[in-house]
Amino acid sequence: METEAIKNLAAAVTVSIGAIAPAISIGIIGSKGMEALGRNPEAASKIQTGMILAIAFAEAVAIYALVTALIIKFV
């Protein structure tokens, strides 16, 4: 029974850390993107492309954390 509790705790910690870091990163990316758009509105398409790419990479970290938590939980 102790092993199951440790697995559950490890999975919970993995998901929480793996969700907090990308959330903060996406917030920073959005903030800086809006700041860049305010300074140079003509470059909107280039800024938006870079922002979407950076957000996708940040979100991938959350997905990796979820997969890791599932592996911890069920293996």
Per-residue pLDDT reduced to its tens digit, 8-63: 999 999 999 999 999 999 999 999 999 999 999 999 999 999 999 999 999 999 99
Which residue in 14, 11, 19, 32 sits closest to 58, CA to CA? 19
Cβ–Cβ < 8 Å for 3, 72 = no
Look up residue 41 and give its amino acid. Answer: P
Walk me through the domains of the chain, giving residue ranges and CATH numbers.
2-74 (1.20.20.10)
Give the pair of three-digit tokens for residue 26: 């996406």
Cα 75 to Cα 66: distance, rounded to the nearest angstrom: 14
Residues 6+ apart with CB under 8 A from 3: none
Global confidence as pTM: 0.79
